[in-house]
């Protein structure tokens, strides 16, 4: 079974997480969310996945099983709360 991951945050921290999605056989990057259009599009183009600009809509609409939050620390709680509320 492959777990489809939604990446929330396409900044510098996400670069440390992306190798797992390039080589993983049990996880795949399924969608990307970031307020910065250029940053999210760069990752989405590499992985051929859809993009969102805000995490509240992202967790409601994206076809994902889990999220990988690579936002600044002060934004972890709001993103995690939104993901939990969306199940």
Domains in the chain with CATH codes: 3-85 (3.40.50.720)
User: If DSSP codes are grouped into helix, strand and coil, which group holds residue 73?
Assistant: helix
Residue 68 DSSP code: E
DSSP state of 9: -
Low-confidence ranges of the chain (pLDDT < 50): none
**pLDDT score, position 25:** 83
* pLDDT for residue 24: 75
Q: Is the model's pTM score more than 0.85?
A: yes
Nearest to 67 by CA among 49, 86, 50: 86
């Amino acid at each position: 079974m492959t777990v489809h991951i939604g990446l929330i945050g396409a900044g510098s921290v996400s670069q440390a997480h992306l190798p797992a999605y390039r080589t993983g056989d049990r996880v795949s990057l399924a969608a990307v969310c970031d307020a910065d259009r250029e940053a999210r599009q760069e990752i989405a183009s590499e992985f051929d996945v859809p993009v969102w600009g805000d995490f509240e809509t992202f967790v409601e609409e994206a076809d994902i099983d889990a999220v990988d939050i690579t936002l600044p620390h002060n934004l972890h709680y709001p993103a995690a709360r939104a993901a939990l509320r969306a199940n």
